[in-house]
Amino acid sequence: MSSSYILRRVGYGLILMLGVVVLNFLLIRLAPGDPAVVIAGEMGGASDEMLASIREEYGLNKPVITQLGIYVGNVLQGDLGKSFFFDQPVSSLIGQRIGATILLVITAQILSILLGVFLGVIAARKPNGVMSGFVSVFATIGYAVPVFWTGIMLIILFASVLPIFPVEGMQSVRLRSAGGLTWALDVAHHLVLPAFTLAIIYLAQYARLSRASMLEVLGSDYIRTARAKGAAEKTVLFKHALRNAALPILTVAGLQFGNLISGALLVETVFNWPGMGRLAFDSILRRDYPTIMGVLFFASAMVVVANILTDISYRWADPRLRGKS
């Protein structure tokens, strides 16, 4: 894998990011509603002069194209602007939340891949067995059920009827000053329901995908050879078959990353998880343009980076692709 290939991919990624910034800016301005009226509404009403000064302060009185130019210029200098609503730099608002989102998304990703692949492999062993049927039904339901509904059902079940998990937030407010293991366990306790909610839909997909992929691989000649030479079934499944069946899973994992982030938006809202998704949701309702664009910028960057890493890891995992551009 040449470094020029990586550089080219990063270059494409940057151009894509610029396109995303411009498109986001224009799309958001198409939404009806005046941020100055929202700010005034939050203040409890305002005079005409106050409205004018709000528009002046936030540059809302300038033509849209001028605002776009200023925004892109600022972004290129690393300045994402100031939140209309909170009057704080967008970068600091995101900085306070990006860790929570990454924790949720990565946990859900790992959970869905590990459990999904495990279920898929088990199901592929006996394609007509009970487990295989269960995986197919579970995959169909998991894929069809809206993520917010799953979240609400889990809250009713595990936070209200059988209150063993917290209903909202990332940590108990009373334990916030606790450090070390107590803090980590508290966060893990809060993470269970949201991470599982987010993971379910993708878990189902990975289970289906790995089942199909494994079935295909298990029918190939080299598996028959492995079995013929007396390799243990566990070795055949996990060493010989899964390694080859993992390539499509790797591809989908990279592609799904964007969906996972958009799923996180809903999950964070349902569970009051203090991440970027909830910030985005609230900011849309408040017409807080700089914050919405800042969150979209970071979310896009995460997807672009994830895709580049997938490309690179795909080439690393598949020797046939090494050296090809």
The one segment of 32-40, 67-75, 238-246, 315-323 that binds other proteins by CB under 8 A: 32-40
Q: Which of residues 173-232 bind other proteins (CB under 8 A)?
A: 173-176, 178, 182, 185-186, 188-190, 192
- CA–CA separation, 28 and 289 (whole Å): 7
Under a CB-based contact definition with an 8 Å cutoff, are residues 123 and 132 in contact?
yes
Cα separation, 104 vs 314, in Å, equals 24
Binding window for other proteins (CB under 8 A); candidates: 121-129, 164-172, 229-237, 304-312: 164-172
- Which residue, 166 or 263, is less far from other proteins as judged by CB? 166
User: Is 284 near other proteins (CB under 8 A)?
Assistant: yes
Phi, psi of 144 (to 5 degrees): -85, -30
Are 250 and 310 contacting, i.e. CB atoms less than 8 angstroms apart? yes
Least distance from other proteins to the Cβ atom of residue 98, Å = 13
Q: Which residues contact 47 (CB under 8 A, 6 or more apart)?
A: none
- Cβ proximity to other proteins: between 110 and 137 the closer is 110
Distance between alpha carbon 50 and the CA centroid of its chain, in Å?
39
- Nearest CA to 307 out of 252, 225, 248, 249 is that of 252
Q: Which is nearer to other proteins, 174 or 229 (CB)?
A: 174
Closest listed residue to residue 19, CA positions, set 297, 277, 276, 298: 297
Print the binding letters for residues 89-128 with other proteins: x by CB under 8 A, - otherwise.
----x--x-----------------x---x----------
142 binds other proteins (CB under 8 A): no
301 binds other proteins (CB under 8 A): no
Contact 173, 250 (CB under 8 A): no
- Amino acid (one-letter) located at 48: D
Give residues in contact with other proteins (CB under 8 A): 32-35, 37-48, 50-51, 53, 57, 83, 85-88, 93, 96, 114, 118, 155, 159-160, 163-169, 172-176, 178, 182, 185-186, 188-190, 192, 269-272, 274, 278-279, 282, 284-287
